[in-house]
Chains A and B, each alone.
Chain A
Amino acid sequence: MRKLSVNSIKNIAIGAALLGAGGGGNPYIGELMAVSATRKYGEVTLLNVDEVESEALVVPASMMGAPSVQLEKFPNGQEFYKAFDLLEKRLNKKIAATFPIEAGGVNSMIPIMVAAKTGLPLVDVDSMGRALPELQMSTFTLYGHTATPMAIVDEKGNGALLETIDNVWTEKIARSIAVDMGATATVASYPLTGKDLLESGVKGVITLCEKIGEIITNVNSYSTVAQALVALLDLTNGFCFMEAKIVDIKHTTKDGFNFGKVELEGLGNSRNKNGEVEFQNENIIFKLNGEVAITAPDIITFLDIESLNPITNEELKYGKRIYVLGVPCSDKWRTPAGIKLVGPRYFHYDVDYQPVEDLFKKVKELN
């Protein structure tokens, strides 16, 4: 158990953007919400997941919708009272703690704001260890937990309680409600017991985000940026696949998602190489010289070459110089069921998932 200072929150936001794999929303507005609430209501208490009572009711607080809309119309911070209230009445039990559904710029910060306002403790856990585009893509699904009963609420005071037959249906119905609520909505889903959370969540994600953020914030304290990058790779067990410049970006919107492709040209040690990344909100597949080099659920993320700040896909710009990182995903995803839920084939790529560390070795051998 420990308290989260404003500086901790700022670091967590940066780290979450890195694990967000290009998606997860813009960390700026999320950070402002969490920091504002902390300044007003005091520091949040962070619990380790094994500190939560086994029968306690724990619920992740999150936002669903278009990240670009959230930059303009963000919540008033009261929506969660209604969402939690709907769930508590339905389950006839009080919520004892909250936690992030995913590590992403916005959804890592929302529960901190909620914890600050409600006084509930925050748990150092999430259900992805990264950000992912669809609601059913949660380690909780792998353990047979349902997202419902789930409350979805807007800032005007509208709310709905969903009961569905499975988590794919929840995604489908919730998505269309979110659009009607103004393309962004507040969600309380996956009600669990402390015992279930301990078993099915990805532990220690908030602390990991904070440590990542600390390195990036203090990049100037390393003798070179390359040294800071080494520290970052050590911490995340990640690999730097490429130093590159963005030479083309294509965006399309289809079925309520942002699809896109980024083309890269090698720089420095990666000179004469080319790369491409395709994304559905989050980065899904990275090819180096035409060969698959990283796929979901491993994390493909871009860092600014100067500051090591992670770059979300809305911020991609022609000419930007980046590092392409591959970070291993949680072991929970590296199972047949996990790969089926979030592996490359789910995203319609005709390739088998191979762990990022194996693919990196292959890339090294080729050179």
Chain B
Amino acid sequence: MKRLGIDVGGTNTDAVLLDEQSRVIASVKTHTTVDIQTGINNAINDVLKKSKVDPKTIKQAMLGTTQCTNAIVERKGLAKVGVIRLGYPATTSVEPYAEWPIDIVNELSGKFKIVKGGYEFDGQELTQLDFEELKETLLSWKGHIESIAIIGVFSAINNEQEEKVAIFVKKVLGNKIPISLSAKVGSLGLITRENATILNSALFNVIHKVSTGFTKALEKQAITDAAIFLCQNDGTLMSTKYAEKYPILTIGSGPTNSIRGAAYLAKKKNALVLDIGGTTSDIGVLSNGFPRESSIAETVGGVKTNFRMPDILSIGLGGGSIVRQQADGTVTVGPDSVGYKIEEKAIVFGGNIITTTDIAVKLGMVEVGNVNLVDKIDIKFAQQAFIVIQDMLTDALDKMKTSSQQVELILVGGGAIIAPKQISGISNIWRSNYGSVANAIGATIAQVSGEFEKIYQYDIIKRAQALEDSKSKAIKQALEAGAEDKSIKVVEIEEIPLAYAPNDTTRVKVKVVGEIK
């Protein structure tokens, strides 16, 4: 059984093929194309040619892609959404779409209604649903919207109303209308969850294109026996069927895949990961085999959400970063870069711009292009530039460390050749021949997950029982996403007591992961 992984990034589309023991059979890097699809086709074609494996032996195909992010950022191909918030008479002081950029609101039609419904923190009904009111609202939207987003106050605690309203929407607008329920999209925090749910509903057309496009690309190369998955931003996979319901979860999967791929190559569970690309270096933290998540709310295309994004520090240093001598004699590196034009602009490739790659060649760290061409670079200048590069990396890595102890570093990415052999504060630097396609490898080895979050009152439901309840619900979700029953493991339990509320009220969040079935 072989596995194919594709990662579509801003500059490159990479593909890798792994064998039964998850060893790399072949890997390729191709340029990302404007239409994305051509790049994916090319990558699959190239990796099959290079490896000469029988396409029929590929049983799993994974795609990590930026298409949904691009659609939101460029406001392209987004659906018109009708937003139903269940919460009246509470919450009307902040309406849906508050503080969104106006162009994306217009793109989505901006239609919303705050109707009766919602729950209190303890799961009691805040207000009863009013189906007459719902019907009137839905009929007024008929023909003007393509999908529906339903967001209920405290639906993380009780999602019954959201489910009921979804059934009713289908009754009124027909079975075909895509619907997003907030309880499945985000956690507590009404506005950020609502934003994510609206974006999710806006992406239904885009994700449909992505998943059918990927399926067709595979068929075209005679890969017809593979189960198809898309990558989520937490380092786990979802089936295309699941992804078509929750396209928003693909946002930000790129950096996650790179960290996970690096972890796999180095066989590490805890380390810093440095991914040096052409223009930037991204630093992430690998904690128990998964990327450490960012604690600040993430903005996507100007919209604040509560996605589980990896905590990444980016600095303007890559293999194509431009190195200059300033008037005062100091040497600067970046933040501008020749980017993917490195093969024509850099000195070693016969160009006339000094890049960090040229510095690495000059100092004998690596042999790339025509090494004789670096003769014209002054050695003192190169040494100065090297110190700048070293300082930039040392500083950035130190910022991401969680202790003053020395930590291990996994170095990946196409620009990894510019990094020094030793960095202070780092005990060991791991490199791999496949480091430049770590993200595609991350896509290929991703697992499936399930997550559950709820508020419990520990003096009514005992803590142990509450944790057990959350675990079983998270496992159920992982099974639905395609996990193999026996491989499922709990990777995270978070308990947050709620201030002021009585009865030892605590918010519990459980996350499980498992291998793909």
Contacts and interface: CB of A to CB of B under 8 A. Distances in A.
A155 interface: yes
A139 to B, nearest CB: 23
Interface string A273-317: 000000001000000000000000000000001100000001101
A281 B502 contact: no
A36 B404 contact: no
Residue of B98, B121, B495, B504 most packed against chain A (CB within 10 A)? B121
Residue of A265, A305, A315, A319 most packed against chain B (CB within 10 A)? A319
Interface size class of B (residues with CB under 8 A): 35 or more
Contacts of A69: 121, 498, 500-501
Interface in B483-517: 495-502, 504-507
B295 A66 contact: no
Contacts of B292: 319
Nearest to B188: A72
A182 B121 contact: yes
A152 to B, nearest CB: 14
B76 interface: no
B352 interface: no
Contacts of A175: 500
B500 to A, nearest CB: 4
Interface in A21-51: 28-29, 32-33, 35-37
Q: Is the interface of B mostly helix, strand, loop or mixed?
A: loop
A52 B127 CA distance: 41
Contacts of A72: 121, 153-154, 156, 188-190
Residue of B95, B285, B495, B505 most packed against chain A (CB within 10 A)? B505
Residue of B89, B94, B191, B295 most packed against chain A (CB within 10 A)? B94
Interface in B393-413: 399, 402-404
A178 B500 contact: yes
B160 to A, nearest CB: 16
B315 interface: no
Contact of A32 (B98, B127, B507): B98
Contact of A182 (B95, B126, B507): B126
Nearest to B500: A66
Contacts of B261: none
Contact of A319 (B91, B92, B402, B507): B402
A73 interface: yes
Interface stretch (A95-103, A247-255, A326-334, A342-350): A247-255
Contact of B507 (A28, A68, A265, A267): A68
B87 interface: yes
Nearest to A176: B502
Contacts of B126: 73, 156, 182
A352 B404 CA distance: 34
A338 interface: no
A73 B118 contact: yes
Interface string B75-104: 000000000000111111111001100000
Contact of B92 (A77, A179, A258): A77
A71 interface: yes
A40 to B, nearest CB: 9
B167 interface: no
Residue of A32, A68, A305 most packed against chain B (CB within 10 A)? A68
Interface in A88-113: 113
B120 A73 contact: yes
B297 interface: yes
A262 B95 CA distance: 36
B92 A253 contact: no
B402 A318 contact: yes
Residue of B118, B154, B292, B502 most packed against chain A (CB within 10 A)? B502
A101 to B, nearest CB: 16
Contacts of A314: 496
A33 B94 contact: yes
Given A253-B499, A320-B295, A29 B191 contact: yes
A183 B297 contact: no
A68 B499 contact: yes
Given A36-B95, A183-B121, A76 B507 contact: no
Interface string A72-94: 11111110000000000000000
Interface string B294-326: 011100000010000000000000000000000
A169 interface: no
B153 A35 contact: no
A78 B90 CA distance: 10
Contact of B498 (A73, A183, A271): A183
A74 B93 contact: yes
B400 to A, nearest CB: 9
A68 B90 contact: no
A29 B498 CA distance: 17
B403 A74 contact: no
A179 B501 contact: yes
A317 B295 contact: yes
Contacts of B497: 251-253, 258
B101 to A, nearest CB: 14
A179 B98 contact: no
A65 interface: yes
7 closest residue pairs by CB, A with B: A77-B93, A258-B499, A253-B497, A319-B402, A76-B92, A66-B500, A317-B295
Given A35-B99, A258-B500, 17 more contacts: A28-B191, A28-B297, A66-B498, A72-B189, A73-B121, A73-B154, A74-B93, A74-B190, A76-B89, A183-B121, A247-B402, A253-B505, A256-B501, A256-B502, A305-B399, A317-B295, A319-B285
Interface of B: 87-95, 98-99, 118, 120-121, 126-127, 153-154, 156, 188-191, 285, 292, 295-297, 304, 399, 402-404, 495-502, 504-507
27 contacts: A28-B191, A28-B297, A29-B191, A32-B98, A33-B93, A33-B94, A36-B94, A36-B99, A66-B501, A68-B498, A69-B121, A69-B500, A72-B154, A73-B120, A73-B154, A75-B91, A76-B88, A76-B90, A77-B92, A78-B89, A156-B89, A183-B120, A247-B403, A251-B495, A253-B505, A256-B500, A258-B498
